[in-house]
Chains A and B, each alone.
Chain A
Amino acid sequence: MASKRDAQAMDCLDNSQKRIVVTGVGVICSAGLSADRFWQSLNEHHQPDAGSAADPAMPTTFTGSIDDFGDLPKDKRKAIRKALKLMNRETQMGVAAGQQALSDSDVLGHYESERFGVCFGADNVSVMPEDFVHGIQACSGPDGRFEEERWGTDGLSGIAPLWLLKCLPNMPTCYLAILNDLQGPSNTITQRDVSANMSIAEACRGIRSGSTDAALVGATGTTLATFNLMHAQIENEVSGVGDVCRPFDRNRTGSAPGEGAGALVLEELNAAVARGAHIYGEILGAGSASAVGHGPVDGRRKALSRAMRQALSRAGQLPHSIGHIHAHGLGTRDSDIAESLAIRDVFGETASEIPVVAAKSHVANAAAGAGALELIASLLALQHGHLFPVRHFNDADPDCAIRPVTRHDEGAGTSFLNLNMFGRGLASCVAIGAVPA
């Protein structure tokens, strides 16, 4: 139920407020290197889950070679191939997804460069050991001991001159801007698993304010790189090798490490219609909130219910009008219970009816990138008119009183909420609606 303040916020919405739509998507994930392949994978009919180690989703088949970037104009292919060695893996995935989205929307050339922005979400970048091998070898003494006092003289020269740039999380954003001459506002949100929805919300603020006309948004991330995995293990239970992600299932074993990137093109509805663009859906509203220090369940619950209420209010939607929810669905006990409670807080009794999907059960946890992949999965569901099951969901956790989807033929409705959460008590939400042709 909307609070009094939410009602005030709704009153402030101007009827002439710009409507912002998604006109292109791009995907790099463990289920495939395109949005089509992702959708196919979400809808594959799997054998009933036996809890086997048959599906360690985890790493993508993305090799980082230029062939994984899809069909590109010759000059762009050449520029990307040249830059590949300077990009870390998350940057490569982000750039590949971004190029797919731009190509899918066929948007380049329709807006002034100065009014086309980029806003991506990204994780902190792990320092990669392989980048230091030559430097360390140069400092090895005759007995094989590492002589640290020689680092500044002998070790430095073993480090690539542009190594530092590989460690910057803003590189996906920057490369996408450079490769495509996108000279508008450019930012990278590094707020871990809630980054994707926040990057979309920020780009929408820019378009609504009139400072941009279009934006390339999305997120890229990993929980596979050493320090990212270590940090994921500190924040949440991470399942063992071969275990899978089982959101809302009482036999869950934790989150499954993974990686991936998703990208979307945003532009104003009228302009998109005028240029004949395909419209995947409309960004109806967004919200984000925090409740740090309130505990792993209460903090997440409070933050998420607020973020959902904000998004619904700004979207001018009531909970019962929402077609489905794309859950964060991390597959840890605290996160699943907090998320279920938050959904019940906002949806009340209808929480038992509204279908809930969770793509992490298919493609594991790509950290910042997951939020974008999940939003795209639900956009594709709107397109196809049906949802996909929460994979590995066999035995409902009685503490999660929501309705995870178990079939392939359930309707997607005409709108959804995309939920992002982070264990410290942070949440973000985007409300999306279908746009009738």
Chain B
Amino acid sequence: MTRRIVVTGMGCVTPIGNSILELQSGLYSGRIGVGHLSLFDASSFPVQIAAEVRDWDMSTCGEDPRRWASTPRQTQFAIGAGLEAARHAGLNDWRGDAERFGVYLGCGEPFEDFQTFVRTVHDSLESGDCEADSFLQNALKVFNPKTECEFEPDMPGIHLAAMLGAEGPVANCIAACVSSTQAIGEAARMIAQNETDVMLCGGAHSTIHPFGFTGFQRLSALSTHNDDPESAVRPFDADRDGFVIGEGAGMFIIEELEHALARGAEILGEISGYGSSQDAYRVTDSHPEGRGTAAAISQALASAKMNPDDIHYINAHGTGTVLNDRVETLAIKQAFGQQAFRVPVSSTKAMLGHATTACGAIEFAVSLISLQTDVIPPTLNHDTPDSDCDLDYVPHTPRELSCRHILTNNIGFGGQNAALIVSRYDDRSPAHVAPGWAA
């Protein structure tokens, strides 16, 4: 028995729009979310730009902002996007079997308040060393236990499970920049193997804080286009010089097809393929020939029982780093063969920045929007061709294209790779259900 998995609700909070409708409008009007950093004083940092979520207020999603005031930004984004997805799916007043409703998110690591942390380390220094006991005693005095408990990656999922009445499995995974892609794929597999009927899945993250900027700058991964933020992220362009830190959330309600049909839910698309792989090469760099990325894409195709020419559009990871874009291009060519030169590929990170663990979920929303509108988003700032990047990257302007199947790909630090295929729902077609979905 095969169980098909469909998407029945989606929600998002992004630097170009704080709802699916705003995201859609931003994508097609070429809105760029990258700007000068405002969330903390970065004037001493070499990089001073970010893709920040603007004007976010918890009252937007019907919540009392005071309740959430001391939670990390990613938790607030997760709640906003999660509630939007549930509303969209008509699950607010759903009274189904709570045990068959689970949550699987890919929310990233929240960091403590930087200022409090460095001051505590400073105050704990003795003879040039920071003694662990001394630091612990000082930390216990200055970090507020009531708010500190929110600084765990699984807290968004725990809150959402309570708010939506989900009493099935609750999980969070961290797999660097493929976290939320894998969360969606693994949530789908839980439904496919008949452990649940409905899942809230996706991810949320914000690394726009001094810890995040310290880490990514030391890794030399960031664009330094401080003077012209809007042109900073240049996916697949010859002059690309790195990514820009973004933030946000993408959330989905996915469910077993018959379950969705029985309750009269609107079906936004079908999850028809999923692949996950490891480069097994280095923690810092992708495999130079993109072997893991190609494997994840090929796995997704195989699990969907599809050939490369079934895919009408690829939403690429496309961070705008020299290495990522070259390797991702190679991997698409490996997995797609000659078809790689015919399928349009775009990266929306020029607009959205890089929301790290949440990027896959946001880009999955972009793919669903593309399926529904018959328009695919462009790669902005793709001005100068690079001989290493020789595919059709849909430069500058959106393109009208009716897609039946879209592949979305992500790549993460540590050699992690994941890809999903989302298809237009067709009740006449036999299930292109993965062997991977069915037990």
Residue ranges of A at the interface with B (Cβ–Cβ < 8 Å): 5, 9, 12-14, 17, 83, 86, 113-114, 117-118, 122, 124-125, 127, 129-130, 132-133, 135-137, 140, 146, 148-153, 155-156, 159-165, 167-171, 173-175, 177-178, 180-192, 198, 202, 205-206, 208-211, 226-227, 229-231, 233-235, 287-293, 302-303, 306, 310, 424, 426, 428
Contact = CB atoms under 8 A, between A and B. Distances in A.
B44 interface: yes
Contact of B218 (A159, A170, A226, A229): A159
Given A132-B121, A152-B213, A174-B278, 18 more contacts: A5-B97, A83-B283, A122-B174, A127-B112, A133-B129, A148-B118, A156-B214, A159-B214, A162-B283, A164-B218, A167-B215, A174-B416, A183-B292, A186-B276, A190-B154, A211-B276, A211-B303, A289-B169
B296 to A, nearest CB: 9
Contact of A290 (B166, B172, B276): B166
B339 interface: no
Interface stretch (B6-14, B75-83, B138-146): B138-146
A178 B167 contact: no
A175 B282 CA distance: 8
User: Top 7 closest A-B pairs, CB basis?
Assistant: A164-B215, A152-B44, A174-B414, A152-B45, A185-B276, A293-B162, A292-B162
B170 interface: yes
Contacts of A177: 278, 280, 415
Interface in B171-219: 171-176, 182, 186, 189-190, 192-195, 210-211, 213-219
Contact of B414 (A133, A171, A184, A289): A171
B69 to A, nearest CB: 18
B187 to A, nearest CB: 11
Interface centre among A13, A189, A191 (most CB of B within 10 A): A191
A64 B210 CA distance: 29
A292 B115 contact: no
Nearest to B291: A183
Contact of A137 (B128, B153, B158): B128
A377 B169 CA distance: 25
A296 B186 CA distance: 28
A70 to B, nearest CB: 21
A132 B118 CA distance: 8
Contact of A152 (B42, B157, B168, B434): B42
A153 B44 contact: yes
Given A124-B153, A159-B218, A292-B170, A182 B44 contact: no
Contacts, number: 275
Contacts of A164: 214-216, 218-219
Contacts of B284: 162, 165
A146 B151 contact: no
Contacts of B169: 198, 288-290, 428
A129 B109 contact: no
B429 interface: no
B262 interface: no
A137 B153 CA distance: 30
A183 B278 CA distance: 4
B176 A168 contact: yes
Given A146-B122, A159-B218, A182 B278 contact: yes
Nearest to B274: A211
B169 to A, nearest CB: 4
10 contacts: A124-B152, A129-B120, A136-B122, A151-B118, A161-B220, A178-B278, A184-B278, A227-B139, A230-B140, A289-B169
Nearest to B435: A210
B356 to A, nearest CB: 10
Contact of A209 (B46, B121, B278, B435): B435
Contact of B174 (A9, A140, A169, A292): A169
B139 to A, nearest CB: 6
B277 interface: yes
A170 B412 CA distance: 11
Contact of B436 (A114, A182, A209): A209
B414 A170 contact: yes
A287 B167 CA distance: 12
Contact of B109 (A160, A169, A206): A169
B280 A190 contact: no
B280 A178 contact: yes
A309 to B, nearest CB: 9
B28 interface: no
Nearest to B119: A146
B277 A184 contact: yes
Contacts of B152: 124, 192, 231
B148 interface: yes
B261 interface: no
Contact of B172 (A151, A191, A211, A310): A191
B130 interface: yes
A188 B174 contact: yes
Contacts of A292: 158-159, 161-162, 167, 170
Nearest to A151: B44
Contacts of A9: 194
Nearest to B182: A187
A424 B153 CA distance: 14
Nearest to A83: B283
Contact of A114 (B102, B110, B277): B277
A173 B189 CA distance: 20
Given A86-B283, A171-B283, A290-B168, A188 B436 contact: no
Nearest to B287: A183
A117 B436 CA distance: 14
B439 A170 contact: no
Nearest to A146: B122
Contacts of B194: 9, 12
B436 A187 contact: no
Contact of B124 (A129, A191, A303): A129
A158 to B, nearest CB: 10
A170 B111 contact: no
Most buried by A among B43, B157, B416: B416
Contacts of B193: 205, 208-209
B180 to A, nearest CB: 12
A174 B287 CA distance: 13
A129 B439 contact: no
Contacts of A153: 44
Contacts of B414: 165, 168, 170-171, 173-174
B255 interface: no
B280 A183 contact: yes
A190 B173 contact: yes
Interface string B267-291: 0000000011111111110000001
Contacts of A202: 186
Interface string B105-136: 00001111001011111101100111010011
A230 B148 contact: yes
Given A149-B44, A156-B218, A426 B415 contact: no
Contact of A208 (B172, B434, B439): B439
Given A230-B143, A231-B148, A290 B170 contact: yes
